[in-house]
Amino acid sequence: MFINLPIVYLTIVNLLFLILGYILTIQSLKLYRDNQKIELFNKQTLTSYETSIVRYQVLQIYYRRKWYISMLRQSQFIINNPNDYEIDQRSYIYFVLGEIYFMLNSFTQAINNYKLASKLLPNKIPILERLGATYKAIRDYKLAKLTYLEALKLNPDNMQIEKEINSLKYLN
């Protein structure tokens, strides 16, 4: 019985190393793929359509990596050339810009970007939730409540939105 105990421990340690190796390999492959997209974009040997697709993908990579300055540069190009991008892509750009401005406590710019995102895709609950949260952050509880109610109309079963509306009752 005691002779097999070290073998069991070694087997468990080997399994843990296998799992760790798998996780690190997946992360490395994602980083490699992202770096390839950035490198492809930097070569600029693409058609304008391919460039617009890669530019959007690179922007998403910058956002995931929290490279906000690079992301802001890319987003400005996309905003200045709206015909090259789909409505949901432009809405995503405005939403992400709203997120960044919210993190920087630049609430007016955040509200403007959330409104632009909502204008492009009016029935997206996450956009309305973030807009409501921004109104709440600047203590405009009336607009926050209206925005949350609009989101609640789209999804009446959303408990998070109901919770936010109820929290506004105590803030007035």
Given this model, what pLDDT does residue 41 score?
A: 61
Q: Where are the alpha helices (DSSP H) in 44-140?
A: 48-64, 68-80, 87-103, 107-120, 125-137
Quote the pLDDT of residue 18: 87
What are the residue boundaries of the structural domains of the chain, listed by start? 1-82
Q: How far lies 35's CA from each of 39, 63, 72, 77, 104, in Å?
A: 6, 14, 18, 20, 27
Contact indicator for 74, 59 with CB cutoff of 8 Å? yes
- From the number of C-beta atoms within 10 Å of its C-beta (0-12, 13-18, 19+), residue 56 rates as buried
* Rounded to 5°, angle at Cα 151 from 146 and 157: 125
Of 167, 131, 169, 171, the closest CA to residue 150 belongs to 131
Give the pLDDT confidence score for residue 61 in this predicted structure.
Answer: 77
The per-residue pLDDT for 28 is 79
Q: Using CA atoms, how far apart are residues 165 and 67, in angstroms rounded to an integer?
A: 33
pLDDT along the chain (172 residues), means of 10: 72 87 82 71 57 73 75 77 82 88 89 94 90 93 92 90 86 69
Sign of CA dihedral 33, 37, 38, 39: positive
Can you give the pLDDT at residue 119?
Answer: 94
CB atoms within 10 A of CB 8: 9
What is the predicted pLDDT for the residue at 63?
76
CA 66 vs. chain centroid, Å, equals: 10
Residue with tokens 């040997």, as numbered in its chain: 45
> CB of 90 within 8 A of CB of 82?
yes
Specify the length of the chain in residues: 172
